[in-house]
């Protein structure tokens, strides 16, 4: 079952085969899982795509299932919708992946997502053996105790009762290769500066971009090639700059220069960061981090 922990009644999943050979795995109202094809032992590479809020990619409404073109190099794709817009808090990831074992066991697994989908993709790496995770403009947190720079997510947050994943702190394991793309607007940097710095987290900031980074790349016609670079190992700062025409700053990973300051320290001690200070506070970011325990 895909119920949140503590749910009393199990719910059996059913497989429905559509004319387009896309499988709909209907479980409970919290999660919808679909697949491009039936599981087959011959399938070796699987891509899991997590949807964002309202099936939006950087503000652009996408056809369902999302990211279909991103999976052209894969033998099968799974599409996972967090229907409650819970940022993973309503999903029993362990139970979900156990149910999806026929699709995943013995395969090389990759995952991706945009915004909320990117947040959930990172969470998923701690419940399945994921080789590479691509997360585009993920928030570090949407917990209501933090004063978000924009209110587009707020209507969904009131329905989250059990915040099992209030932030992405501690969610980047040591075995998955993470590719994270962040925007450069103040709204985005308030979040990106809180991400950890570790060798297997390749974190790039593209300037000038905002939360609509994916939409911008789609409009430029470079999104498919950009995404493919995450899987084939060609996503580097130089490659991103050449594809997008943007300035690229490396926040984490082997390309990050030793002389660069830690991303969190890059924010002035005195400049308030509205996006990641406790609600109603005008603390500077480092002070807020120390007070709330999210500092590194």
Is residue 151 in some structural domain? yes
Burial profile 87-126: b = 16 or more Cβ within 10 angstroms, e = fewer: bbbbbbbebbbebbeebbeebbbbbbbbbbbbbbbbbbbb
Is residue 89 in some structural domain? yes
Could you give the CA distance from residue 227 to residue 112 in angstroms, rounded to a whole number? 9
What is the residue-averaged pLDDT of the chain? 78
Domains of the chain: total = 1
Could you give the CA distance from residue 121 to residue 75 in angstroms, rounded to a whole number? 19
Is residue 127 in some structural domain? yes
Is residue 87 in some structural domain? yes
Token readout for 11 is 């719910």
Nearest CA-CA partner of 153 in 85, 238, 92: 85
- pTM here is 0.80
Is residue 2 in some structural domain? no
Is residue 3 in some structural domain? no
Is residue 42 in some structural domain? yes
Could you give the CA distance from residue 47 to residue 4 in angstroms, rounded to a whole number? 24
The pLDDT assigned to 261 comes to: 42
pLDDT in tens, 4-39: 433 323 333 444 433 344 667 655 668 889 899 999
Range with the poorest average pLDDT among 105-114, 154-163, 179-188? 154-163
Residues of the chain with pLDDT > 70, as a percent, come to 70
Predicted confidence band of residue 83 (pLDDT cuts 50, 70, 90): confident
Average pLDDT for residues 106-119, to the nearest whole number?
95
- Say which CATH number the domain at 193 has: 3.40.50
By the 8 A CB rule, do 62 and 71 touch? no
H helices within the chain, ranges in order?
93-99, 101-104, 116-124, 154-157, 186-192, 213-220, 223-232, 237-244, 285-292
What is the domain extent for residue 86?
14-292
Predicted confidence band of residue 216 (pLDDT cuts 50, 70, 90): confident
The pLDDT assigned to 293 comes to: 35
Range with the poorest average pLDDT among 75-79, 185-189, 212-216, 273-277? 273-277
Nearest CA-CA partner of 201 in 178, 181, 183, 182: 178
Phi, psi of 45 (to 5 degrees): -120, 125
pLDDT reading at 100 higher than 90 = yes
The residue among 258 and 144 whose pLDDT is bigger is 144
pLDDT in tens, 128-177: 999 999 999 999 999 878 765 555 667 788 889 899 999 999 999 999 99
Sort residue 58 into left (φ over 0), alpha (ψ -120 to 50) or beta.
left
The pLDDT assigned to 144 comes to: 78
Is residue 25 in some structural domain? yes
């Amino acid at each position: 079952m895909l119920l949140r922990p503590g749910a009393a009644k199990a719910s059996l999943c059913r497989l429905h085969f559509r004319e387009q050979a896309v499988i709909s795995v209907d479980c409970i109202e919290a999660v919808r899982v679909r697949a491009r094809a039936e599981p087959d032992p011959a399938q070796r590479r699987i891509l899991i795509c997590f949807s964002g809020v309202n099936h939006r990619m950087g503000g652009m409404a996408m056809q369902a299932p999302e990211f279909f073109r991103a999976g052209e190099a894969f033998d099968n794709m799974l599409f996972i919708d967090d229907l409650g817009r819970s940022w993973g808090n309503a999903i029993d990831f362990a139970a979900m992946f156990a149910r999806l074992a026929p699709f995943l066991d013995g395969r090389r697994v990759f995952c991706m997502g945009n915004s909320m989908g990117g947040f959930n993709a990172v969470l998923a790496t701690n419940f399945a053996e994921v080789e590479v995770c691509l997360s585009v403009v993920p928030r570090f947190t949407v917990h209501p105790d933090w004063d978000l720079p924009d209110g587009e997510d707020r209507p969904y947050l009131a329905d989250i009762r059990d915040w099992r994943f209030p932030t992405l702190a501690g969610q980047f394991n040591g075995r998955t290769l993470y590719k994270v793309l962040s925007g450069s607007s103040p709204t985005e940097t308030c979040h990106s500066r809180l991400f950890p710095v570790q060798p297997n987290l390749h974190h790039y900031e593209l300037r000038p971009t905002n939360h609509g980074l994916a939409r911008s790349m789609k409009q430029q016609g470079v999104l498919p090639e950009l995404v493919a670079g995450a899987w084939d190992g060609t996503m580097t700062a130089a490659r991103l700059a050449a594809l997008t025409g943007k300035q690229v700053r490396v926040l984490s990973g082997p390309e990050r220069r030793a002389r660069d300051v830690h991303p969190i320290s890059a924010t002035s001690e005195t400049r308030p960061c509205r996006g990641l200070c406790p609600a109603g506070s005008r603390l500077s970011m480092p002070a807020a981090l120390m007070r709330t325990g999210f500092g590194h």
